[in-house]
Amino acid sequence: MFTCAKIRHGGTYLGNHLTANDYYCEGENVTGRWVGKGAALLKIDRIAIHAGNAAFEALRQNRIPYRSGNKKLTPRNDKDKNSVRFFDFQCSAQKSVSIMAVVMNDRRLYEAHDKAAAKAFAELERFAAFQTGDTNNRTQEISGNLCAAAFRHDASRSLDPQLHTHFVVANATWDSEKKRWLSLDTCEMFRAIRYAGKVYQNELALECRRLGYSIENIRNQKGVIEGFEIEGVTKDIRERYSKRRAEIEAGIERFQKEKGRMPTTREIHVITRETRNVKMHEIDTVEVRHRQRKQLAWNEWDALMTLKQRAKENEYKPRYDFEMRYYNGR
């Protein structure tokens, strides 16, 4: 699914969050990459992103990346410290996919997530827009281009397995008609978040089946299909690795008791932000994996290992070159 958060200052966001993996370990860093048509227009799409990346900092300050001088990118006035610098669109995998990818080390699922997330982001990019006209007569125009820093993480702040990608979108989009960069209007993008989430989910489900896994549909209380999980990863195991979700649901329950009603979608976003543990764990990946795997009983571990092995045996592999070209859309 897709969620979004607004980054209003972001001075430490790259170094303290994105290049870490929701936990901190000296010497371990996550490398990001620039994605989107806007990144290509700015000629930064082939540049890897590390802590202290000059292009990221320039975009945060509304400046043109890798250009001498201090020329502004958009006409936006950033004197207000609360102005939005980035929009962090986060795309997260199903819990069973995260468990098999991270805890059981099925690296094929990392690639499946990357492919599905990239396709979903490309769909979301189609809804990028900007506003034109004077103050009394503003109109929205679709631009269809974004410049985003993509970082894949595989753990939650609770150190549970959680495969997810941050698409940190700069507050800028290219007006191809008047040849200028303008502030991003995300109205249509926010409306399309659910659609993009479905694109991601459907693509990931197809990839899981291609990799040899069986999937089961997950329905809500009304019987409507809300998603899927990998068959064989039990509900008990999924819930055991969902501590962050449990924190949010506890916050929703407290809200309901205090207000006498269920929170709105916007209020749930606030609850999610407020229940987020700001302090990051100082721990390395080896210890994180050890803690994650220690939560499985020996028979559960054996069952999941068997599940992974059977999936590898059942993986669909095109027998002819033209099948591979068709599968890759070439």
Encoded amino acid at 284, one letter:
D
Coil, strand or helix at 188: helix
pLDDT in tens, 285-299: 999 999 999 999 999
The pLDDT of residue 69: 61
State the average pLDDT over residues 235-264. 77
**Ordered DSSP codes for 107-164:** HHHHHHHHHHHHHHHHHHHTT-EEEES-TTS-EEEE-----EEEEEEEE-TT--EEEE
Instruction: Give the least confident one: 84-93, 205-214, 220-229, 318-327.
Output: 318-327
Mean pLDDT of the chain, nearest integer: 87
- Cα separation, 241 vs 160, whole angstroms: 5
- Cα separation, 257 vs 325, whole angstroms: 56
- Cα separation, 56 vs 44, whole angstroms: 10
pLDDT band at 324 (very low <50, low <70, confident <90, very high): low
pLDDT in tens, 67-103: 656 789 998 877 767 789 999 999 999 999 999 999 9
E-state strands within the chain: 2-7, 32-35, 48-49, 86-92, 129-132, 139-142, 148-155, 161-170, 173-175, 180-182, 215-219, 225-230
The pLDDT of residue 190: 92
What is the domain count for the chain? 1
Q: Which domain holds residue 53?
A: 2-327
Contact between residue 38 and residue 167 where contact means Cβ atoms under 8 Å apart: no
Checking if the pLDDT of 316 tops 60, the result is yes
- The percentage of the chain sitting over the pLDDT mark of 90, rounded to a whole number, equals 62
